[in-house]
Structure 1
Amino acid sequence: MSVAPSTPCWYFNEGLCRSCSLLETPYDIQLADKARHAQQLLPCDEWLEPVGSAEFGFRNKAKIIVSGTTEEPVLGIVRDGIGQDLRDCLLYDRAITEAHGPLTDFISRAGLIPYSIADRSGELKSIIVTANPHGHLMVRFVLRSERHLEAIRTHVSWLADRIPLKVASINLLPTHVALPEGDTEIHIFGDDVLDMSLGPLDLKLRPQGFFQTNTEITTILYATAAAWVDEVSPATVWDLYCGVGGFAKSMASPTRTVTGVELSEQAALAAGGPPMFVAADAGQWAREQDTVPDLLVVNPPRRGIGELAEWVRDSDISTVLYSSCNLASAVEDMAVMGMTARRAQLFDMFPHTDHSECLILMSR
């Protein structure tokens, strides 16, 4: 006879959500298994002890699928075509959890029609909520069209009276596709950016920008990267795929020239704009420069740096600091670049899953 799992999560125990696939495994074993797998995948001169996360309350961002009806909306996920409420998910930052009730009431108050995946009808597809380190929120309503634009604008002040809302926007995703958001963003309330500063690091996040999902681990990751770079002591650093500029800003000093390159113009402007931050395709920009840096920083998407690895191989760059959320692609890139891993460390951004972030210092 099978025994029902017993975890702190009611949704998991009832079989309503299994996104945390490793939840039944004690966290210290999860972390040890991830570290062991990483070390098997990446030969390295020195592997440091893995950095563990808080087990719950660490997620600073929630992509909340909206289903149900205007009168009875369901905020959470969709399983087998049916909406499943996840308002009490243990992973969320407390500010996000506490916002679920007011957001549910807001949908009914503003007369928003949840989108039906099965019928391909309705308007409100999801709500993306980001919490900053100070407990303030950015809320983005992902809609099929502008039909509810004025209704949201009319009632957003009501919402701001009930949650710590700093930024609100509407994102338009008109097509029936499995994407989290569309290209068009319409600002409707508050500031243009959410303050994501980590201690002395002045970081700003625009609605369509990227920020690591685990604030505590991100703080440690940036500090570790800065310490490693200080040991190398390069005079010039390029941070490609720089996002909000966390790595670049953590490494900046009066004796070091740091340049961050990010494809998103909005992200580059939020980071601080030129001359330190440039909006451009990282690979194209790098090839157009007359010189190369003493140290290159890359924090690419899961697929890795692609053809840029060949450019690094053929350049005079001798040291690369690579932050990877997919170690397999980083290993492939390292081989193409002709680099050897000198030091590496695992940062557990995503407890209860197989995913993690690894920081790798490479040289020829």
Structure 2
Amino acid sequence: MNEQGEGIGRVNGYTLFIKDAVIGDRIEGKVVKAKKHYGYGRVLSILEPSPFRVTPRCPAAAPCGGCQLQAMSYERQLQFKEDKVRNHLVRIGGFSEDSLPMEPILGMEIGEEPFSEKETRGETGGSGPFHYRNKGQFPFGRAKDGRIVYGFYAGRTHSIVEAEGCCLGAPVCEKILQTIKRFMEEYHIEPYNEETHSGLIRHALIRTGYHTGEIMVCLVINGDRLPRAQVLTDRLMEIKGMASVSVNINRERTNVILGEKVVCLSGLPYITDRIGALTYKISPQSFYQVNPVQTEKLYGKVLEYAGLTGSETVWDLYCGIGTISLFLAQRAKQVFGVEIVPAAIENARENAKLNGIPNTEFFVGKAEEVVPRWYEEHEEASVDVIVVDPPRKGCDETLLKTMVQMRPGKIIYVSCDSATLARDLKYLCEEAYRVEKVQPVDMFPQGVHCEVCVELGRNKTI
């Protein structure tokens, strides 16, 4: 299977990528797009099912772009992700497979689903954990028959697949989405149309606090105001746990979901949740890991690999709302955090105060600009550990160069894309560092993505 979860098959030496095929399947397929050396196809029938094939729990699993691996047993999903990380490190990073210090992937235990409720426990089909996501972004639109619909985008498209009762999120999302849909129908409020850039309701962003039970709803609108907003707000606030209702204004012709301006309609402009002993304020635009159970495992590894004793100065790059920063600050002398989103840095500073952690300082800006500028002004300053958790594109080379110049004893790299991780590790290890440990963590059961935590130590001879 490829990195998008498509099966790779061959007919007379010709390679075909087949959506919804599982490793070990023997299928009859139809070619839908042919190029000179490879093509794309779809499954017509399964002649011999793979020993790893299971019946998906969600009826929309095949057309929906959210769960690429739901037809595969969870044990094989974990193997798929572990193999992907290893292959990237070997093929892109140039590391030796035999000497790669890679730990077995940390999967999610059955029964750990944080948002499973009584009405979901009788669900059948699928394999592994479901109902683990604390966040969902649901586009609204019109079906071909004119009905207002919500769901998820089909893979590689912006066509909405109706997905009522998603198996990955909190069950309360369905009640919220139905409330919004009925409100739109009742007051003739149009969903957004990408082709004509018309209509009002683009997305509903829903967050749920695992430990607190607090719920946030943020409607993304193609306009300056929501008509009859008080009616919808009153209905949503009746839902148990509802703590924040807001609108996000995005009038741009773009596929970026959130705009810059958020207007709070009811409650607070944030919700709170906990990771370990720490409490965090989370706003609509904040980055916050979507799987609360696995997040504690991932951050536990970051803390373990950092090996802090209380005397260290630490930088946390791409720090978001300070989730990792505050974890580290409990055991470090000083932690500096950098994040480009102003609202996230505001949350980070509030979170430090909320938890009574004074030994942190946060900067707004691009890490590749803030850190080099700080280093030029503080060349004599000692930096012991750098933690970096970049977006999927990885680190800018300017930032990697500055990290090497700062000469920290350790670099902890947290990655959501093992391909760019491998590229960046290759650079760091060609300069002054060596890979000590690699720990994949499955944050996204049923999907293809995998988080990785890597400990790098400085070569003593450099």
TM over 0.5: yes
1:48 to partner: Cα distance: 1.8
CA displacement at 1:56 relative to structure 2: 0.8
Which residue pairs with 2:58 in the alignment? Answer: 9
Distance in 1 of aligned mates of 2:449 and 2:297: 17
Of 245, 264, 270, which residue of structure 2 is paired with 1:187? 264
Structure 1's unaligned 5+ residue stretches are none
Q: 2:107 aligns with which of 45, 52, 60?
A: 52
CA distance in 2, matches of 1:57, 1:81: 24
Residue matched to 1:63: 137
The Cα of 1:64 is off from its aligned counterpart by 0.5
Partners of 1:255 and 1:242 in 2: CA distance: 16
Is structure 2 residue 333 aligned with structure 1 residue 278? Answer: no
Distance 1:10 1:19 in 2: 12
Aligned to 1:108: 185
Which of the pair has more CA radius of gyration? 2
- The residue number in structure 2 matching 1:311 is 402
Mapping 1:28-47, distance limit 5 Å: 28-42=75-89, 43=95, 45-47=100-102
Q: What is the Cα deviation at residue 154 of structure 1? A: 4.4
Deviation (angstroms), 1:185 = 1.6
How far off is 1:294 after superposition? 0.2
Q: Compute the displacement of 1:6 (Å).
A: 2.9
Q: Which residue of 2 aligns with 1:123?
A: 200
User: What TM-score does the superposition give when structure 1 sets the normalisation length?
Assistant: 0.90
Structure 1 residue 96: Cα displacement: 2.1
1:249-291 CA distances to partner (integer Å, 9 max, x unpaired)? 1122365222222222221121225861413222332222412
Q: Deviations over 1:161-216 (max 9, x none)?
A: 13532112111111222111212222222112210212312211111111112121
1:227 and 2:304 matched: yes
Instruction: Summarize the alignment of residues 209-220 of structure 1 with structure 2, pairs less than 5 Å apart.
Output: 209-220=286-297
Per chain length, whose mean CA-contact separation is higher, i.e. which structure has more relative contact order (CA < 8 Å, sep 6+)? Answer: 1
What residue identity is the alignment partner of 1:11? A
Residues 308 and 331 in structure 2, CA contact (< 8 A), matched pair in contact too:
no
Q: 35-44 vs 214-223, which deviates more? A: 35-44
- 1-structure distance, mates of 2:292, 2:150: 23
Change over 3 Å in CA distance of 1:84–1:18 after alignment to 2: closer
1:141, distance to aligned residue in structure 2 (A): 0.8
For 1:316, give the aligned amino acid.
Answer: R
2:213 equivalent in structure 1 = 135
One-letter amino acid of the structure 2 residue matched with residue 312 of structure 1: M
Total equivalences in the alignment: 360
Inter-CA distance 355–154: structure 2 relative to 1 (3 Å threshold)? same
Counterparts of residues 233-244 of structure 1 (less than 5 Å): 235-244=312-321
Distance 2:195 2:231 in 1: 30
Which residue number corresponds to residue 74 of structure 1? 149
TM-score with structure 2 setting the length? 0.72
Per the TM alignment, residue 135 of structure 1 is displaced from its structure 2 partner at its CA by 2.7
CA contact (8 A) 1:168 1:190 kept: yes
Give 5+ residue unaligned stretches, structure 2: 1-27, 29-44, 48-53, 90-94, 114-128, 353-358
Residue type of the alignment partner of 2:424:
D
CA distance in 2, matches of 1:300, 1:177: 23
Q: CA deviation at 1:19?
A: 3.0
Deviation at residue 61 of structure 1 after TM alignment: 1.1
- How many Å apart are 1:45 and its aligned residue? 4.9
Aligned partners of 1:76 and 1:87 also within 8 Å: yes
Distance 2:65 2:255 in 1: 19
- The 1-side partners of 2:46 and 2:332 are apart by 61
C-alpha distance 270-26 of structure 1, shift in aligned 2 (>3 A): same
Mean alpha-carbon deviation: is it higher for 238-247 or for 111-120? 111-120
What's the offset of the Cα at 1:101?
2.4
Letter in 1 for 2:387: V
